[in-house]
């Protein structure tokens, strides 16, 4: 399986992204930018795509599949793409506060510690739907690992489209998110322009 092993803070610096969006509180050492370099239109589009891929932890081929699926759906392609990325199970686990970062959320899902509507799901890219209940397995809830996570993520804001019970490590999807509910600094229109060439 292909894995992106680039150091997170280094990648954040390269993409001009605040590490907070990755679930990391550290500050990236921002070096003085060279202002004489002009970024082409293609360069801007590519950066937005790389930013979205990096934030959600999706590699190139699956990302392209998401785009093609979003293109076939009704409505705006860019908004559909962002909603699909936001509804990935690993992202929802992160948003509910059951993991410190999306990478950790992915690992929790991989390790078969998550139940969706009472059934075990170990696919990080699983698409949650409105009305789904998501919880951590009963035998994992009492572990020190999840207690430590709850301490760190306790103050984190849960998006309005989710309902979280951090004490019982349980949550539900109230509705699918609209684009204005997704606080990710990505201009999806540039991604659409890039793929529609």
Which pLDDT belongs to residue 22? Answer: 74
164, with CB counted inside 10 A (0-12, 13-18, 19+), is buried
Weakest-pLDDT range from 30-44, 102-116, 156-170: 30-44
Expressed as residue numbers, the domain containing 145 is: 90-176
For residues 81 and 119, state if they share a domain.
Answer: no
What average pLDDT does the segment 38-62 reach? 92
For residues 131 and 109, state if they share a domain.
Answer: yes
Q: Cα-flanking dihedrals φ and ψ of residue 147, to 5°?
A: -65, -40
The answer to whether residue 47 is domain-embedded is: yes
**179 or 37, higher pLDDT:** 179
The answer to whether residue 1 is domain-embedded is: no
In the three-class reduction of DSSP (H, G, I as helix; E, B as strand; rest coil), residue 187 is classed as: coil
Q: Cα-flanking dihedrals φ and ψ of residue 21, to 5°?
A: -65, -20
Residue 10 half-sphere exposure toward CB, CA atoms < 13 A: 4
What average pLDDT does the segment 143-163 reach? 87
Cβ 128 vs Cβ 89: under 8 Å: yes
For residues 47 and 102, state if they share a domain.
Answer: no
For residues 94 and 44, state if they share a domain.
Answer: no
Q: How many domains does the chain have?
A: 2
CA distance 112 to 4: 22
Please determine, for residue 120, whether its predicted confidence score (pLDDT) is greater than 90.
Answer: yes
Confidence of residue 60 (pLDDT cuts 50, 70, 90): very high
């Amino acid at each position: 399986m292909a894995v992106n092993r680039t150091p997170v803070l280094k990648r954040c610096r390269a993409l001009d992204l605040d590490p907070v969006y990755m679930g990391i509180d550290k500050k990236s050492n921002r070096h003085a930018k060279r202002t004489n370099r002009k970024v082409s239109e293609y360069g801007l589009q590519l950066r937005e795509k790389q930013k979205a891929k990096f934030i959600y932890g999706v590699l190139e081929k699956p990302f392209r599949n998401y785009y093609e699926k979003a293109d076939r759906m009704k409505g705006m392609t860019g908004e559909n793409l962002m909603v699909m990325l936001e509804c990935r199970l690993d992202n929802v686990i992160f948003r509910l506060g059951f993991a410190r970062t999306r990478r950790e959320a992915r690992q929790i899902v991989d390790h078969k510690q998550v139940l969706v509507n009472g059934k075990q799901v170990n696919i990080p890219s699983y698409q949650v739907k409105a009305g789904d209940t998501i919880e951590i397995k009963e035998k994992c809830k009492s572990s020190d690992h999840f207690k430590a996570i709850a301490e760190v993520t306790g103050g984190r804001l849960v998006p309005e489209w989710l309902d979280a019970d951090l004490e019982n490590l349980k949550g539900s999807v109230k509705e699918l998110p609209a684009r204005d509910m997704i606080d990710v600094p990505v201009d999806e229109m540039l991604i659409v322009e890039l793929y529609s060439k």
